Amino acid sequence: MSTIRATYIQHGSSAVPNITLNASGDVVVASGITVTGSITASGFVSSSSVVIPSGSAAAPGIYFAGDTDTGLFTASGNTIAVTTSGTERLRVDDGGRLLVGTSSGSDNNALLKVQGNVGGATGVGWIDVRRGVAIPGADGMLGYISISDSSGNIYAAIEGYQDAAGGTNDYPGRLVFSTTADGASSPTERMRISQNGNIAMSSSISPLPVLGVDNTLNSSGTQTIVLGNRSNANNTSSYYIVCQEPGVANRMFVYGNGNVANTNNSYGAISDIKLKENIVDASSQWGDIKNLRVVNYNFKPETGNQTFKQLGLIAQEVELVSPGLVTESPDRDAEGNDLGTVTKSVNYSVLYMKAVKALQEAMERIEVLEAKVNALEGN
């Protein structure tokens, strides 16, 4: 075995050593190293830049011993990519985007883009968020996605839960959507989708219906549900609501012009005696019904309502006869702001009961007259 004993190597034109071997056995190079082949080392430290060939997915510029097609390479300027088995798996492009399963991501501003899955680049994009334990138990949170600012303050969140006791091949799930209210510092649940597809706009609704909406979370809200329709839907061929037994028949419609129709013309009110008290006979309704003016009218075109001739009452006139039949609601603009005016409505369902009472009174009077006529004819 031969030994070369030297502490440094210095070129004749250099004022300082170019390569130095220190007492620890490290080789210190004063400037760059140019290698046309490969370098095999158990450790490598540089206080300056290290220039590595760009490489490719099949032959990366940095690879691991015995695995020459797995490592790092750069496909173009200002990008770095990871390859395994000679196939690019992810890259960071010049815009800072992390691209998984694709090499192109400049079509939008997303910092993360996932294309395809392990089954192939043309498959569905797939992101898997997991908890670190198997089957955490009923109501156990499985995943959490937060939407925050640069300081970590959370403005909205999506959570995934185990919705009930589960087991092998039994994985009931629940999604919860939360937002942070103005003046609050943490999100509050606004909507949940349960294991059976039921949707609730509040966690306080129980039992959970197919769709439940609770406006108590919005202390300043005046509207719980608003259903909009297209601009030319003021007719009976468009619908706001269709109630049906799927595959059997339709049961009820709320039409685009506000008409309501159902299959049996039955409309009712809860009227069980067990729910009522202070039950007494109603007072006479003869005068109220007699003094109401029934008119024909049509809506003004600028109201957006249909303008055909209708039969009904005028709220302001009804108010003078029977104020309890009239209600009013504030007029609001498209943003819900109070305009300072009101619109009056007539409670026709109560009016019908007043008419029934008046009809009973009329029947009693008719019967009295009939009795008198019969008596006179008998004489």
Whole-angstrom distance, CA of residue 287 vs CA of residue 357: 11
Q: CA angle, 210 as apex, 204 and 212 as ends, to 5°?
A: 35
| Predicted local confidence at residue 86, as pLDDT | 94
Residue 257's Cβ-count burial label (10 Å; 0-12, 13-18, 19+) is middle
Q: From residue 86, how far is each of 59, 80, 81, 282 by CA, in Å?
A: 7, 15, 12, 90
Q: What is the pLDDT along the chain (379 residues), one digit of tens a residue?
A: 455 565 767 676 777 777 777 777 777 776 666 666 666 767 767 666 777 889 999 999 999 888 999 999 998 889 999 999 999 999 999 989 999 998 887 778 889 999 999 888 889 999 999 998 887 788 889 999 999 999 999 999 999 999 888 888 999 999 999 999 999 999 999 899 988 888 888 767 667 677 777 776 565 667 777 888 776 778 888 888 888 888 888 889 888 888 888 888 888 889 999 999 999 999 999 999 999 999 999 999 888 888 899 999 999 999 999 999 999 888 888 777 889 999 999 999 999 999 999 999 999 999 999 999 999 988 6
| Predicted local confidence at residue 220, as pLDDT | 61
Residue 175: enclosing H or E segment and its boundaries? Answer: strand 173-179
Extents of the domains making up the chain? 1-127, 141-217, 227-267, 274-356
Count of helices and strands (H, E) across the chain: 3, 22
Cis peptide leading into residue 246 (ω within 30°): no
Beta bridge pairs of residue 344: 328
Domain 274-356 maps to which CATH number in 1.10.10.10, 1.10.10.370, 2.60.120.460, 3.40.50.300?
1.10.10.10
Q: CA angle, 112 as apex, 111 and 118 as ends, to 5°?
A: 160
Instruction: Give this prediction's pTM.
Output: 0.62
| Predicted local confidence at residue 236, as pLDDT | 80
* Cβ atoms of 175 and 159 closer than 8 Å: yes
| Predicted local confidence at residue 32, as pLDDT | 64
Three-state DSSP class for 373? helix
Whole-angstrom distance, CA of residue 218 vs CA of residue 212: 15
Whole-angstrom distance, CA of residue 173 vs CA of residue 295: 58
